[in-house]
Amino acid sequence: GAVVSQHPSRVICKSGTSVKIECRSLDFQATTMFWYRQFPKQSLMLMATSNEGSKATYEQGVEKDKFLINHASLTLSTLTVTSAHPEDSSFYICSARDRRARNWYEQYFGPGTRLTVT
């Protein structure tokens, strides 16, 4: 149980285009999902927290107009990188919290999406 999937696993796009990444909880309902970004040899950094049916909360320094997050259902959150630039190339990982989890701090991570902007 507690499986989180991401699609696509890898994506290459041209500078200036937009790309959408999906995060799905496969066997549980997630009221909260988290989006992280990991640059090479750097730590995972939380970008934003999304709650089903409401606006995402972005971490300081993350442009909300550039990284659009939609959490339209209890099993799906999407991250859209708009007008992508080469510096947006990174590994994007989502995690999800089971609405029925006994412990508030438990998160289940997806396998990640490697974004390369050329």
Partner 1 sequence: KQEVTQIPAALSVPEGENLVLNCSFTDSAIYNLQWFRQDPGKGLTSLLLIQSSQREQTSGRLNASLDKSSGRSTLYIAASQPGDSATYLCAVQGGSEKLVFGKGTKLTVNP
Q: Which is nearer to partner 1, 83 or 106 (CB)?
A: 106
CA distance linking residue 63 with residue 72, whole number of Å: 20
Q: If binding is defined by CB under 8 A, does position 29 make contact with partner 1?
A: no
Pick one of 13, 66, 114, 116: the residue that binds partner 1 (CB under 8 A). 114
Report yes or no: 28 and 98 within 8 Å, Cβ to Cβ.
yes
- Alpha-carbon torsion angle 72, 76, 82, 84, nearest 10: 170
Q: Which is nearer to partner 1, 42 or 83 (CB)?
A: 42
Q: If binding is defined by CB under 8 A, does position 54 make contact with partner 1?
A: no
Strand pairing of 4-7 and 57-58?
unpaired
Residue 38 neighbours by CB distance under 10 Å? 15
DSSP, collapsed to helix, strand or coil, labels residue 51 as strand
Site for partner 1 in 56-75 (CB under 8 A): none
Q: If binding is defined by CB under 8 A, does position 105 make contact with partner 1?
A: yes
Q: Which residues are near partner 1 by CB under 8 A?
A: 4, 6, 9, 32, 34, 41-46, 49, 91, 93, 95, 97, 104-105, 107, 109-112, 114
